Chain A
Amino acid sequence: AQSVTQLDSHVSVSEGTPVLLRCNYSSSYSPSLFWYVQHPNKGLQLLLKYTSAATLVKGINGFEAEFKKSETSFHLTKPSAHMSDAAEYFCVLNAGNNRKLIWGLGTSLAVNP
């Protein structure tokens, strides 16, 4: 069975401090994994993706994620949070058939001044 678990529904950080959004997955296939961000009343934007190349993936806006097969994790990090990072973040798994995406429930990131 394919599934994605985002371990925190809400994360709150202070501006300038590191961000960690946690994601675990379960997949029978070699997974493709993604992080999408959704700002209020806006569409989903692809932050970064892992598709079986380098395990440390760099994305836009200073975000990166590391694929750890032994831990079945794909956590999203950023060294220093900015106010504009406040948004909903979704960890997403491709179900191995190149069609359907399996979505986590999302993590709401708040950045405090």
Chain B
Amino acid sequence: DTGVSQDPRHKITKRGQNVTFRCDPISEHNRLYWYRQTLGQGPEFLTYFQNEAQLEKSRLLSDRFSAERPKGSFSTLEIQRTEQGDSAMYLCASSRAGEPETQYFGPGTRLLVL
């Protein structure tokens, strides 16, 4: 059990560019969640997957954001045409079928949009 991993850990980009983040959940965890956290705030739910199915998306997830989990293992979160307001920490978490209420978090990807 190596924990949830995220890549990259840091990303600096210019406004208008596209960025993609990757999350590898704990193996055999069937649920995967994406959150966004801004400075001084708690995490805000973005979306979650059960296996490869995306079951819920927050209103925070505008049409510039898309998430996939094609094989039910790793997931990617893409932000198109980034804006300065997208600057935040993007967190991924996973949970297992037998204990769905307990989520384990990765270290996050910190995005800075210039």
Contact = CB atoms under 8 A, between A and B. Distances in A.
Nearest to B55: A99
Contact of B42 (A32, A42, A90): A90
**Size range of the interface on B?**
20 to 34
Interface in A32-49: 32, 34, 36, 42-46, 49
Given A51-B101, A98-B100, A42 B107 contact: yes
Q: Is the interface of A mostly helix, strand, loop or mixed?
A: strand
Contacts of A101: 43, 45, 103
Interface residues of A, number: 20
B108 interface: yes
A43 B102 contact: no
Contacts of B25: none
Interface of A: 32, 34, 36, 42-46, 49, 51, 90, 94, 98-101, 103-106
